[in-house]
Amino acid sequence: MATAKGKAKSAAVAPAPTISEEGNRRGDIVRAAGRLFREKGYSATTIRDIAGAVGMRSGSPFYHFKTKHDMLLAVVLEGIRDIHAAVEVEARKDSPPRARFEAMLRAHLRQLLGEEGRDFAAALLHESRHLEAAELAEITALKDRYEAMWQALLKELKKTGEIADDSRTARLFLMGAMNWTVQWYRPEGPKGIDALAKQLAAFVLR
Amino acid sequence: MATAKGKAKSAAVAPAPTISEEGNRRGDIVRAAGRLFREKGYSATTIRDIAGAVGMRSGSPFYHFKTKHDMLLAVVLEGIRDIHAAVEVEARKDSPPRARFEAMLRAHLRQLLGEEGRDFAAALLHESRHLEAAELAEITALKDRYEAMWQALLKELKKTGEIADDSRTARLFLMGAMNWTVQWYRPEGPKGIDALAKQLAAFVLR
DNA sequence: GACAGTCAACCAAGCACTTGCTTGGTGATA
DNA sequence: TATCACCAAGCAAGTGCTTGGTTGACTGTC
């Protein structure tokens, strides 16, 4: 028989492997799924699309994943983990708040817009609603931990007087300005990601 | 025979009726489709869902629309037209720039988050990609006209010194902060829409 | 005011196709 | 010889959409 491998099940409780840790073909599937989910959306992407993108037949991905749904979960988890890791590196440095803020913006935007992470990030932002309640709760928890980092920094920026409002709502405005770039940013355009981060920092701070 | 009525075709060139102008059942379908598209997404919504929501059998909506695709177009067009109309009213007044800015924010957010327009707005923001190139070009043109109103106001605000950056990118940051509210705003929460508009104005202006 | 005719707005049934997923089997590798 | 990673084939359910027919409200005519 050939159902999904044992190690792949119960992703909601197990630590669940990051892409770099897991077998190559499984990682290929997650990457292809991520790209297709971003381009066409989860529901409009078929198993045959994903299988074709990695040179498999339509039944074969189910050796690695129990359901299409599990693929989405893997993609979304990869998305939140990558962003968190990238931004946390900058948040831990003890440079002055404003410099740290800019560095965090850079890291976040690179994940959103750069070739490496944008597929996972887009799925995280736009396709999470197709997850079920339990899974959604899991990634919501991760998201909360992530956004707490930003909240902490806003508090610091308020102390130094570089921002007027450090409320939850203000943080969500900031997240919106950042995450919305996915809708309009074009890498072939004139402005680079780092310049964008700088401009956003200037837009928000005073 | 019973294919889509003559008056319903070639929506890309004709003025296409607003919801309030058209027959009640057609309007019912557009409203139901809008709600379902927001809740489940375009691809995950079936004709049977839409038909069921208005008390029809699965084949009957095709008396009013040639394709499911055309329903999406109707929903998205309704979305951009409503927002444009609501905000334009405020933009035309000749109150001082800051007051006009706040009023426009209010109008935009009411469309996004209020019961009346949120279904259409959500479809506009999230499901437009499922349109074909020609239709997308049409709504992009409308969107450009809409955003030009904001750009003009930013220019005014720059002159009075109430904003530092009136570039296209700055406008897109603002749009992001606004449009992202769809992802997190809960009407049952403590904060009202008008208070939100006020806070956003304070966040962006100095 | 009775009555045939018209037409908008549906329904019942189903067709061709696509969907996620399953099953038994197979070649390569250890 | 056992396991991994896949394929070939297909199944049941669901998909958008079509077709011919029905119903009830309205119309003009005598």
Residues B56-97: pLDDT tens digits? 999 999 999 999 999 999 999 999 999 999 999 999 999 999
Tell me: pLDDT of B8 over 60. Answer: no
Tell me: pLDDT of B48 over 80. Answer: yes
Residue B15: per-residue pLDDT: 43
Residue in A43, A126, A199 closest to B43 by CB: A43
Residue A9: per-residue pLDDT: 33
Determine whether the distance from the CB of A68 to the nearest atom of strand C is below 7 Å. Answer: yes
How far apart are alpha carbons B65 and A16 in whole angstroms?
Answer: 46
Closest-approach nucleotide to residue A57, Cα vs C1': D7
Residues of A in contact with B180 (CB under 8 A): 172-173, 175-177, 179-180
What Cα–Cα distance (Å) separates residue A199 from each residue in A107, B12, B15? Answer: 14, 38, 40
Tokens describing residue B203: 């966040």
Confirm whether A59 is domain-assigned. Answer: no
- Summarize the confidence of residues B162-166 as an average pLDDT: 96
Of A37, A38, A5, A11, which Cα lies nearest the Cα of A23? A5
Residue in B167, B179, B196 closest to A180 by CB: B179
Query: What mean pLDDT, rounded, does chain B reach?
Result: 91
Residue A52: per-residue pLDDT: 97
Q: State how many domains chain A has.
A: 1
Q: Residue B191, Cβ neighbours under 10 Å: how many?
A: 13
Confirm whether A165 is domain-assigned. Answer: yes
In chain A, what's the furthest Cα-to-Cα distance?
A: 64
| Higher local confidence (pLDDT), B179 or B20 | B179
Confirm whether A148 is domain-assigned. Answer: yes
A119 CB-near residues (< 8 Å, 6+ apart): A31, A34, A35, A37, A38, A75
Confirm whether B181 is domain-assigned. Answer: yes
Residue A102: per-residue pLDDT: 97
Residues of B in contact with A175 (CB under 8 A): 180
Residue B7: per-residue pLDDT: 36
Residue B140: per-residue pLDDT: 96
How far apart are alpha carbons B22 and B28 in whole angstroms?
Answer: 10
Residue B206: per-residue pLDDT: 87
How far apart are alpha carbons B188 and B191 in whole angstroms?
Answer: 8
Tell me: pLDDT of B113 over 90. Answer: yes
Residue A29: per-residue pLDDT: 97
Q: What is the mean pLDDT of each run of 10 residues along chain A (206 residues)?
A: 41 48 84 97 98 96 97 97 98 96 98 96 97 93 97 97 96 98 95 96 95
Confirm whether A185 is domain-assigned. Answer: yes
In which band, very low, low, confident or very high, does the pLDDT at B24 lie, cut at 50, 70 and 90? confident
Is any Cβ of chain A less than 8 angstroms from the Cβ of B43?
yes
Residue of B nearest to A190 (CA): B169
Residue of B nearest to A182 (CA): B176
CATH number, position A162: 1.10.357.10
Confirm whether B172 is domain-assigned. Answer: yes
Find the residue closest to C24 using CA and C1' atoms: A1
Residues of B in contact with A206 (CB under 8 A): 164, 206
Helix pair A168-179, A133-159: axis angle to 10 deg? 110
Residue of B nearest to A176 (CA): B177
Is any Cβ of chain B less than 8 angstroms from the Cβ of A129?
yes
Residue in A169, A170, A179 closest to B176 by CB: A179
CA atom of A14 to C1′ atom of D8, Å? 34
- pLDDT tens readout for residues B25-47: 999 999 999 999 999 999 999 99
Range of the domain at B147: 68-204
In which band, very low, low, confident or very high, does the pLDDT at B9 lie, cut at 50, 70 and 90? very low
The dihedral built from the CA positions of residue B123, A53, A72 and B178, taken in this order, carries a sign that is negative
Tell me: pLDDT of B22 over 80. Answer: no
Confirm whether B185 is domain-assigned. Answer: yes
Confirm whether B75 is domain-assigned. Answer: yes
